[in-house]
Structure 1
Amino acid sequence: MSTFFQCQCFMTNNIYLQTYNLHVDYRNSEQFWKDYGQSLKSMGCCSETDRRKVTEEIQNELQRRSTLDVDSHKRKQIIKETYRPLYPHLYKLKEDFFHPEFLHLVDQCITSQSLMSVQQYLHTISEEKSIFMFPVFTEEFCTQFLEELVNFEQSLLPKGKPNTMNNYGVLLNELGFYEDFLNPLRIHYLQPITKLLFPKEGGGNLDSQKGFTVKYKVGEDVDLGYHYDNAEVTLNVCLGSNFTGGELYFGDMKTVPLWKTTCSTVEQQPYCGILHRGQQLHGALPVTSGERHNLVIWMRSSSIRNRLCPMCDRIPILVPAEAYGDGFTQERQTVDVCGVF
């Protein structure tokens, strides 16, 4: 396995202020208030108390990030030694987990390598934005997988946040789903699809991923602000149907502000995945009842991101990281795709 790294910008960029639904960069206090003071004031951050709360929120997030790898490694070891899975067979990927239409889609992508031949297996949400939906897993698998997640969540074992913006969900690496589940899922099943649909984004050279689940429920996280992913390609699978609301909406790529684009709204379908470019701006409308659980896989191509970090838009300055880090490698790889750079 290659040694993967993070970009140094992880400690300065894309810090999410949940109170104001705003992503910010923070290098020092002077820079921060100069860059964001007026915007925050227009959102109601007016008093010294408000400003102090913002600073505390940023410092708490930076502290979390500074020990993220070490803390995650500790949690993973404790879970491995202590947790007793409800369904041990789920942890090793099997073909009968998949919906038959998904297997047909993968087979067509491998054998024909033609966009025309796979159209019948895809629901194209937006051809212009390259957003697609298709069945992925069976109902039986999703039911058992959700029961496994609930079993873990109800345990007293330590748990990390799935990402910066979501507070409820499970990091699949820590639970033990990487080596025998997510890796073969990416390599043998998802990459044939992404190679055909996302060649410019390195879809044929995806060599790492971050996998996690997220949960939305009234009284907890109910929606998700407008953002882009730290990924080249993202798969978002709806694991069940016991909810109302929670539609996804997609704008343009991250370089285009929301007010300049028309959003496409997508109602999530049980057991189906939505596949899109990681740098596609998107969000989720509020869940109005029930619980929505999603499996999210951020797939990364070091041959793309080694040239330009997708989070700071600069040549990445690499720092050591545990496991897959953020998908960077020390090799300055390239992809033979016209117009990528």
Structure 2
Amino acid sequence: LALSCIHQEYPNKISHVMTSDADAGTPRELTPAFYGCFDWHSSVHGHWLLVRLLRMDPDTPFRDSIVAALGQSFTAEKIAAEVAYYLGPDRKSFERPYGIAWFLQLVAEMHESDDEVLQGWRETLRPLETEIVARTRAWLPNLVYPIRLGTHNQSAFAFGLMLDYARIVGDVEFEAALVEKTLAFHLGDTNCPLAYEPSGEDFLSPCLMEADLMRRVLAEGEFAVWLALFMPSIPLDGSGDWLAPGVVKDAADGKLVHLDGVNLSRAWALQGIAAGLPENDSRRAALAAAAARHQETGIAAVSDEHYSGSHWLGSFATYLVTRRGID
């Protein structure tokens, strides 16, 4: 799915602030590295998916095709154009926080690789990485409240990806800033209203993503206590029916199909929450059972039938089945 869309320019939904007629342009002209897969952030995590596959299976029969496709995107000239666009007037909030978090995840994937090709591209991306980290660090002190949405602007999911990136590349100052903000936002949270989820267009669970973030910043024992206050209704009997998967009735609708994504992201969050608890914690079985139920439902929905889902669901499925952010 990613191979077929990272260089498919249309259909496209650009997030583009214009200050004059001179700013008009096609997606390929505006952001020449990340113009496919319908929007900038989906293009970024489509590239991440391909890099992830190269890392997980270096001998994949798709290697030559993947390397050729990525090489078309990751040139110094195109990344310089991405930097110029990112730093343009009135674009301070461009793809913040979702798209830039996925970009940092892309960099982290390359950073961990011993593949010389990926290592080279990692250096190619560094100029954009530097600007994104600097701008994000400047934004964090000004973000007074968490963004508790089930869509792109959610802060908890983005913080999780950013925190993983900071630890992988060894950026201790960025890591400290993220941990500080995470604890300030969420350490005192209790009784998250999971029963009110999902909303009709969610692809991220506000409650589960917050818990998946907190297990990254608390020790096992501390997280176990925090989770009991935050999500007190997790069963102790190992059942998986305490959280019903989202339902999609029109997979061709770009907003309604978000619920296929919420099933995938719930599954990895549930796995992450379970992994953050002590091995003898009686809630782990119910978390694992609910994760399996959501994974089965979510994976079954991944297909190339409708571009509304195919341009992004493959990345979510890959993040889930490869246990990125957990293992």
TM-score (norm 2): 0.26
> Is the helix fraction higher in 1 or 2?
2
Higher RCO (C-alpha 8 Å, min separation 6): 1
Structure number with the higher strand fraction is 1
Alignment TM-score, normalising by the size of structure 1: 0.25
